[in-house]
Structure 1
Amino acid sequence: MSARIPLPLLTALLGTLGSGTMLSAQEPLTLFDGQSLAGWVTSGGRYDGPALWSVEEGAITGRQGPAKEGGLIYTERFWHSFDLSFETKIDYPFDSGVFLRMVPPSWEKGEGADRARGGKGLQVTLDHRPGGEIAGIYADGWLHHCPEGEKVYKQGEWNQVRVRMYGTTPRIEVWINGQKTTDYELPADAKGYAPSGRIGLQVHGGENVPATQTARFKKVTLRELPVFDRAQFTLDEQNALQPNDAAQAQGWTNLLDPQLSQWQPDGDGKGYAFRDGLLALLVEGGSHHIATKKDYRDFALRFDFKIAKMANSGLFLRAARDGSNPAFSGCEIQILDDYNWETTTNSKLAPYQFTGGLYGSLPPGVKTAFYPLGRWNTYEIVYRGSRLSVRLNGELLHDVDTHAVKGEPPFAKRAATGFLGLQRHAPGGIEGDAFAWFKNVYIRELPQDG
């Protein structure tokens, strides 16, 4: 039976964007409020179990179950790439760990979208026993040993732990008490790993120790990082995305600059601003979309976006410049506040109107891939010939031959080349002067088939 715990704190933090307050990519999210287990669940990962979890003296506290069972407590939310920090105090001898990208094991055996999201996660070991390892990497077997971890871990004291995980095929860095102990990269050809998932804290079962032995965690915070392919991009010291040498050689280019020199808004040209490195869609203004000055045919595109409550936007692909509706002269990938739209408007969305939908044609393949308000989301899109692939936060939404997709007009009769655009469907009732923000907008033109 699942022990589902409400998450008012995290919801409040993530929801501040709806009040017009930007949550900077550099500001940490508090995952544990020091008083309750709001935002945490004891099932929904790969290693559920009846370990006992409570809050004691401002710390998440885990013990073995009545029959020395183990188990994990997980974040309710899924995470892909992040910089996680916490303090931990583990009684000696006791075995614990931090688990990354945890998903239900049933997904691996499922069909369709669930199976695509399934797979194993990875563990940063906190095995505080004779012969154990601190800050090793484990996933159904050892991936990386860390003999130095135990040397810097302080027995009987609170220890500062930092775990930085990023990349579609992840790199994991670990610091113990400020000293870097681990730097591991999962091989690019590794198979069977989940694309994203929950973060879990562990109590290992079967330990012949007193029932009073605990693993404790406090000051748990997280900075979210962009979703990207490490073969093409890297992060600078400010966690901003930068193309590496290989990406530059492949032709990846940045579409954003302070002058928005590569973009042209329609209508009166008003409704956009470049602020703090972000393209903001403003509430005030008469423009309906902002379009690239250049037309594109075959390309790979990636960008990050964040929206306010009741935001309505979208991404136009290969849209014609004839004044017709760009959602149908080309196509549109939807961006919408799925979390509040139906309730606030007392209406029912069509399946294709949810974020990630191919507007007018297909619903998103994984509806839950869209993160809650206040969190950055990442689209990765490849459009080559009639083949369209769309990923949201690392999860595959579409991989289709558009000529076989139902639509009006048929995709085969739509523009084969056109502009990329961001829709400014300015909603009412927004608190603040902007409702959507975009960053790390990179594109690579692809050679045409044939």
Structure 2
Amino acid sequence: MKTFARITKRMALPVLAIGSLLWITCSGTAERPNTLTSQEAEEGWTLLFDGHSTAGWHIFNQGKVPSAWRAVNGELWCDPQVTDAVHGDLVTDSTYTDFELVFDWKIAKGGNSGVFINVQEGPAYGTAYATGPEMQLLDNEYAEERHRSNPSHLAGSVYDVVGDAEQSKPVPFGQWNHSRIRQKDGKVTFWLNGQVTAEVQLGSEAWTGLVATGNLGNFPEFGKAKQGRIALQDHTDEVFFRNMKIKRL
């Protein structure tokens, strides 16, 4: 028995080491959340969320004001219970044209949020969604019926424009999803947990037709820009983000 125990103990350390290496490799992220691997840094990736502050972000059209967005335990959290600060969409200080964005997100039961791209700010625009196409973040299973029954409202869709119910497979509420957004020369592709959930060409005849059939067609500047800010939606539902990384193309 002693001999077996010694052999088992000696084997355990290499197995654990290999397991840790596989976790890092398969996850595609650094071992610690909100950090870059050396390869990511060499490829030009930068962090949008540093893990401990909202540096690099501000509230849409309101600048650097105290907000419902907090950095807690390495997660960027929109707290719906906040009453002593401003609620609103959180937008990047920087603007982006061609880029690739990756991030992890989780949401409350029945929750609804989103990530916008190409957002324009200014007095002429009352909301982020008036200009920026949105990747829908949703708890599909417990969402309102109006969302569950509309493919363009499911997680990973271009909200209210186009979606794919077969590919929209978020994990249960309270667990981490992984999303990716790529924009190059106006071609936008969304991924959710490794699956392509939407692909559009901004400015194309097909895009214009899709927008016109939904409510977003009421906003004359929606989806017209091919550059702008990234925005996180405050939809009064609890939502969390981490590992937000972006690379200019």
The 8 Å contact of residues 34 and 47 in structure 2, kept in 1 or not, is answered as: no
Alpha-carbon deviation of 1:340? Answer: 1.1
1:282 aligns with one of 76, 79, 99: 79
User: What CA RMSD, in Å, does the superposition of the two structures yield over aligned residues?
Assistant: 3.3
Q: Which structure has more strand as a fraction of its residues?
A: 1
1:256 aligns with one of 19, 25, 49: 49
2:228 aligns with one of 418, 422, 443: 418
Amino acid at match of 1:369: K
Alpha-carbon deviation of 1:393? Answer: 1.1
Q: TM-score by structure 2 length?
A: 0.76
The 8 Å contact of residues 57 and 90 in structure 2, kept in 1 or not, is answered as: yes
The 8 Å contact of residues 53 and 70 in structure 2, kept in 1 or not, is answered as: no
Q: Give the SS at the match of 2:102.
A: strand
Alpha-carbon deviation of 1:305? Answer: 0.6
Match runs of 1:195-344 below 5 Å: 228-229=27-28, 233-236=29-32, 240=33, 242-257=35-50, 258-266=52-60, 269-283=66-80, 284-285=82-83, 286-322=86-122, 323-342=125-144
Alpha-carbon deviation of 1:328? Answer: 3.9
Alpha-carbon deviation of 1:271? Answer: 1.1
Instruction: Mark the CA change 1:423 to 1:225 in structure 2 (over 3 Å): closer, same or farther.
Output: farther
Aligned residue number for residue 190 of structure 1: none
The 8 Å contact of residues 187 and 201 in structure 2, kept in 1 or not, is answered as: yes
Aligned residue number for residue 27 of structure 1: none
Q: Give the SS at the match of 1:294.
A: coil
Equivalent-residue separation in structure 2 for 1:371 and 1:333 (angstroms): 16
The 8 Å contact of residues 320 and 330 in structure 1, kept in 2 or not, is answered as: yes
Instruction: Mark the CA change 1:392 to 1:324 in structure 2 (over 3 Å): closer, same or farther.
Output: same
Q: TM-score by structure 1 length?
A: 0.44
Instruction: Mark the CA change 1:340 to 1:250 in structure 2 (over 3 Å): closer, same or farther.
Output: same
Q: Give the SS at the match of 2:30.
A: strand
How many residues align? The count is 224
Instruction: Mark the CA change 1:227 to 1:306 in structure 2 (over 3 Å): closer, same or farther.
Output: farther
2:183 aligns with one of 361, 364, 383: 383
Aligned residue number for residue 19 of structure 1: none
Equivalent-residue separation in structure 1 for 2:201 and 2:5 (angstroms): 53
Q: Give the SS at the match of 2:141.
A: coil
Amino acid at match of 2:177: N
Equivalent-residue separation in structure 2 for 1:338 and 1:318 (angstroms): 25
Q: Deviations over 1:170-210 (max 9, x none)?
A: xxxxx9644429959xxxxxxxxxxxxxxxxxxxxxxxxxx
The 8 Å contact of residues 254 and 441 in structure 1, kept in 2 or not, is answered as: yes
Alpha-carbon deviation of 1:350? Answer: 2.5
Q: Give the SS at the match of 1:243.
A: coil
Instruction: Mark the CA change 1:241 to 1:272 in structure 2 (over 3 Å): closer, same or farther.
Output: closer
Instruction: Mark the CA change 1:176 to 1:328 in structure 2 (over 3 Å): closer, same or farther.
Output: farther
Q: Give the SS at the match of 1:249.
A: helix
By relative contact order (CA 8 Å, sep 6+), the higher-ranking structure is 2
Aligned residue number for residue 353 of structure 1: 153
1:407 aligns with one of 207, 211, 225: 211
Q: Deviations over 1:216-237 (max 9, x none)?
A: xxxxxxxx989754xxx4324x
Alpha-carbon deviation of 1:361? Answer: 0.8
Q: Give the SS at the match of 2:227.
A: coil
1:180 aligns with one of 5, 12, 15: 15
Equivalent-residue separation in structure 2 for 1:276 and 1:412 (angstroms): 35
Instruction: Mark the CA change 1:264 to 1:347 in structure 2 (over 3 Å): closer, same or farther.
Output: closer
Q: Which structure has more helix as a fraction of its residues?
A: 2
The 8 Å contact of residues 235 and 241 in structure 1, kept in 2 or not, is answered as: no
Alpha-carbon deviation of 1:301? Answer: 0.5
